[in-house]
C-alpha cells in the first residue's frame, strides 16, 4: 500500500490540511469526541504551522491515496545547550503521526517515520524523541526507539 500512496512534504499552502489533521490526531490520541471544542487549539496550531514551516522548525508529510488524505506525520526541531552526548544541542520531536484506520498495518506509518528521521539526520540531529499511544508503541520499538527512564516532567 505504501507504494501507491503519495507522500507530500507540506508547504505553507497546506496549512489548513495540517491544522485539520492535527485536530484529528489530538482527538484520536486523547479519545475526544467530535463535540469537544477545539477552536483554540486550531487557532494556535495554525499560528504554529505558519511560523514553523517558514523558519524550517517543522517538517510535515501528508499522505494521500488517489487524492484522499490517509496519513500524516511531522517533526519539530529545537535547540538546547550542547551536552557530552549531543554536542550540537540540536533535537527533534516527532509528532502528529496518523494513519486512517482502514490504511493501518500497510507500511504507511513506517515510511512516514523514515522520511521524518531522514530529514532530522540531514539537519544533523542526533537525538529524536516522541510520545506514543499504546497502538503506536510496537511500531516505534520496532524502528529502534527506546523508553527513557532518566527523564522527568513537571505536570
Alpha-carbon distance of 58 to 46, in angstroms, equals 13
100 to each of 87, 105, 119, 142, how far by Cα in Å? 38, 10, 23, 20
Q: Is the pLDDT of residue 44 over 90?
A: yes
Q: Is the pLDDT of residue 2 over 70?
A: no
HSE at residue 114, side-chain half, CA atoms within 13 A, is 8
* Residue 36: CB atoms within 10 Å: 12
Q: In the prediction, which pLDDT does 126 show? A: 84
Q: Which three cell numbers stand for residue 29?
A: 490520541
12 DSSP 8-state letter = G
Mean pLDDT across the chain: 93
CATH for 6-143 is 3.40.630.30
Q: In the prediction, which pLDDT does 1 show? A: 60
Residues in the chain: 155
Q: How confident is the model at residue 148 (pLDDT cuts 50, 70, 90)?
A: confident
Alpha-carbon distance of 125 to 117, in angstroms, equals 9
| DSSP-H helix ranges across 30-134 | 39-55, 108-122
Domain boundary assignment for the chain = 6-143
Amino acid at each position: 500500500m505504501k507504494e501507491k500512496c503519495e507522500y507530500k512534504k507540506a508547504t505553507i499552502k497546506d496549512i489548513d490540511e495540517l491544522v485539520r489533521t492535527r485536530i484529528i490526531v489530538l482527538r484520536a490520541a486523547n479519545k475526544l469526541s467530535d463535540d469537544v471544542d477545539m477552536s483554540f487549539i486550531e487557532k494556535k496550531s495554525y499560528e504554529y504551522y505558519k511560523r514553523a514551516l517558514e523558519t524550517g522548525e517543522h517538517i510535515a508529510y501528508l499522505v494521500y491515496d488517489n487524492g484522499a488524505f490517509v496519513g500524516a506525520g511531522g517533526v519539530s526541531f529545537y535547540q538546547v545547550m550542547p551536552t557530552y552526548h549531543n554536542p550540537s544541542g540540536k533535537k527533534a520531536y516527532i509528532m502528529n503521526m496518523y494513519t486512517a484506520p482502514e490504511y493501518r498495518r500497510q507500511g504507511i506509518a513506517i515510511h512516514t517515520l523514515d522520511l521524518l528521521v531522514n530529514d532530522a539526520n540531514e539537519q544533523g540531529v542526533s537525538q529524536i524523541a516522541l510520545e506514543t499511544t499504546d497502538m503506536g508503541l510496537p511500531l516505534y520499538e520496532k524502528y529502534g526507539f527506546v523508553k527513557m527512564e532518566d527523564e522527568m516532567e513537571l505536570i
